[in-house]
A = this chain, B = another copy of it.
Amino acid sequence: MLSDPFSHLPPTACRTIDTQKGDVLFRQDQTTSGLYLVVSGYVTLQRTGLGGDILTLHRAASGGLFAEASVFSATYHCDAICTEAGSVVKIAKADVLATMQSSPAFSQGFTRLLAVQVQQYRAHIELLAIPSAKERILVAVQAGYFDATVTELATRINLSHEACYRALRGLCNDGHMVRVGRGKYTLS
């Protein structure tokens, strides 16, 4: 189940955790203890703004890794909340650091994972720069962002959910997308 580089870790480094919807894996400013790999279900990384508004930074699906940067950080920088039941593997920070010392293969694999993250974030910043709501949604859907609810998509791409619904309808009218059911849209 563990992806590539993690096979180099000692078995004791990993702990499987079953999650329920709404479970909190960690909160912002908590002391870091490790990083996580999603086995099944979904985990949302979010920050709560001063005004109480929720910002989704990342949504990790099956196979997705998150909080990798926590290995080099004293505290978590956002909240990790399970939006759907499933399970995650928690990998102890100390073991990651130790294995980086002993295994070049692990080191390189782990670094590659971080590099992928960097590229994903860059792509996301680019997406957020698209001024038109319709275009932004179209690109987001093409990039596979639309894997849950419309409301969830909206918060990820800095749109109100109303604007998101309207833009989706517009894209359907334009023939770029097709409505295939309540809250279900696909590219045409």
Contact surface of A with B, Cβ cutoff 8 Å: 47, 49, 55, 57-58, 68-69, 71-73, 77-78, 97, 100-102, 104, 107-108, 110-112, 114-119, 121-126, 128-130, 158
Contact = CB atoms under 8 A, between A and B. Distances in A.
Copies in the complex: 2
A77 B112 contact: no
A131 B183 CA distance: 26
Contacts of A101: 104, 108
Nearest to A108: B100
Given A100-B111, A104-B107, A111-B107, A69 B126 contact: no
B47 A128 contact: no
Given A111-B107, A115-B73, A126 B55 contact: yes
Interface centre among A55, A58, A72, A101 (most CB of B within 10 A): A72
Q: Tell me the interface secondary structure of chain A in the complex.
A: helix
A121 B100 CA distance: 24
Given A117-B118, A118-B121, A111 B72 contact: yes
A135 to B, nearest CB: 9
Given A107-B111, A117-B118, 4 more contacts: A69-B116, A71-B111, A72-B111, A72-B115
Contacts of A126: 47, 55, 57
A125 B125 contact: yes
